[in-house]
Structure 1
Amino acid sequence: MSIVALPTINISGDPLADLGDSLAGKTPKILAEVYSGSKRLVMYTGGDACGFTTITEDGSQVSPIHLSSTWPSKGEGHTDYSAGPYNTASGSGDSTAWASMACGKNAMVIEYSPRIPMEVSRARGQVTIERKPGHPLTLVLIVGETKVREEIASHLPRG
């Protein structure tokens, strides 16, 4: 099942309003939301693209991270995770946090590190949350249907 076929969730505010035309005119569908510390991590799709953004719990986008990427064209992309191939985007939003996103037709995998200890307090949508082995401050967020998330999570390197 393609990630565009996953059920969407409603979230408070409109965290994607200020992102401009990052999905080339496609209406974003919010697939998952994770609360980590004072940040909300939002994963979405639109057309043949994936997106990830961070916002504060009050809805402001102070030093946000925003990543977007299209699915790879036929014969392109990497297969670092199962259910691929994937295109990759990465970036940072302030002096401490960074993220990288692998975007594919069947899943998206985000590594998010606030570089300070933060616990996940709540998660909604089609998302599995793991800690990156050997990097306890880095979350691995896997978005996709249940079987795809389980497959990807089972093949993550173990510490």
Structure 2
Amino acid sequence: MTAKPPQDTAATAVRRLAGSDPGGRHICYRVYLSGRGWQKPVCDGTLAGTTGQNKPIKSINIAVTGSGGSAANAFVHDAKSTSGRGKWEPQWTATIGNGKNNYIGSTSKSAPYMTGFAINIGSGQVCEIAKVHGYAWGGQDCADARPDFVFGGTLENTRWLEAVKFTV
């Protein structure tokens, strides 16, 4: 039996970039799509996800380099909502260091889809652009280093995150 190669994650992608640009600032990310699984990681403003294919994002894997690590949280569909809004996951991730994988949302079959997210970094600025089902691409929003954070997506419970782009 042949061994499978290791999975290509956001961290493996960002470490490759850091190897060729040791002083650079980069963010790599990939999304887990409902019914499709993990996409390959992309970096520095490249689209992750799909548009118009009815494939909600359930999880995002993020890794940064030259940015003082990242912390994030997922805003997800709430089947019990009476307000028309989703809900935050119980807590933010811990601050995950440069070159390491940070995961928000869930890949569990029964996990809700994401409607939005929040992310911060330790130094510099992080920017996002998000595509929500039924809407055009949002504008770019940015946040300075912690304690600031940037939100992408929607709070609406009936819409889902389709695609994202990040830069640092």
Fold shared, TM-score > 0.5 on shorter chain: no
TM-score normalised by structure 2 residue count:
0.35
Greater Cα radius of gyration, structure 1 or 2:
2
